[in-house]
Amino acid sequence: MTQTPLSYKDAGVDIVAGDALVERIKPLAKKTMREGVLAGIGGFGALFEVPKRYKEPVLVSGTDGVGTKLKLAFEWNMHDTVGIDLVAMSVNDVLVQGAEPLFFLDYFACGKLDIDTAAAVVGGIAKGCELSGCALIGGETAEMPGMYPAGEYDLAGFAVGAVEKSNILAGQNVQAGDVVLGLASAGVHSNGFSLVRKCIERAGANAPATLDGKPFKQALMEPTRLYVKNVLAALAAFPTSAEKPTGIKALAHITGGGLLENIPRVLPEGLAAHLVKGSWPQTELFAWLQNTAGIDDIEMNRTFNNGIGMVVVVHPADAQACAATLRAAGEQVYVIGAIAPQGYGAQVIVA
């Protein structure tokens, strides 16, 4: 008995669709090209030369995903901004070491490739790279039948940056008396969405039509803010060193774990951040989440960014000028506290 030949497409993998997606991606990636790119999308590996302006370059890498925010993207058919989230979660992490993001690679995995959906996602990735000054030089699109439900996909991203060895930020110069600035978030960003989805489920038909002047779904899906260009400019204007410990001493990207768990990652032992409750406004979005979930302030501050997406620790003599520089660049900046001896308390106190 002669059996019918089986092709890869019969098994659920469409090579033609994959090739078509690559062609759609190429012009998007081209817009992100920058100094250092020697070879990008299309090869077995992308080539990047560290810019010669670095004297002692140290490479800084970061990787992340978008988490269960993707479940809302599937449900609401909103795929054009989760790529920005993907880039932001990695490049903002690289930034806090004082590094300039250089290049980015993505991983897109699905059960069956939908070219339009994938192109929308990668379009967001390219936009995020463009806004943060890093090149999208490679990635992987994996079509794996049976691995994902119909219409769903997963994302991962990988960023590499560089910083002069003498300019690495690790919180080593932080001292009692330093000022804590908070840069406003664009919303929930990309953490805490398991609880966000429970809040949506609990609210049901009673969910508000708008939050902070935006349609409800848009307010929740607002992509993670990219702080890279504005903060790099501030770092150049307000440097710190062991010999002259002024300027910007530390940065903290407020992701999973919120203010309470991320700020301690950049504080020397024996120091704590004392944040002033009410020193930054609670948006309608976060007020709705808190009220719907029925949680206290402590739980809010360790689950969500709660309105502060990036923390800047700066010498008191430079705090006012640093805040003014960041505001002039377009950031919403709040003086939210100060560094003090820890004593026997927690490393972050909000009171």
Per-residue pLDDT, 212: 96
Q: Are 350 and 254 in contact (CB under 8 A)?
A: no
Per-residue pLDDT, 90: 97
pTM of the model: 0.93
Per-residue pLDDT, 6: 53
Per-residue pLDDT, 7: 56
Show the domains of the chain with their CATH numbers: 15-167 (3.30.1330.10), 179-350 (3.90.650.10)
Q: What is the mean pLDDT of each run of 10 residues along the chain (351 residues)?
A: 62 68 78 84 83 95 96 96 97 97 95 92 95 92 90 96 95 95 97 96 95 97 98 96 92 96 95 96 97 95 96 97 97 98 91 91
Per-residue pLDDT, 10: 53
Per-residue pLDDT, 19: 74
Q: Are 135 and 102 in contact (CB under 8 A)?
A: yes
Report how far residue 266's alpha carbon sits from residue 348's, in angstroms, rounded to the nearest whole number: 11
Which whole-number Å values give the CA distances from 142 to 5, 65, 106, 109, 350, in the listed order? 24, 16, 11, 5, 44
* HSE-up of residue 167 (Cα within 13 Å, Cβ side): 23
N- to C-terminal Cα separation, the chain: 79
Report how far residue 196's alpha carbon sits from residue 178's, in angstroms, rounded to the nearest whole number: 34
Per-residue pLDDT, 13: 62
Radius of gyration of the chain (CA): 22
Per-residue pLDDT, 264: 96
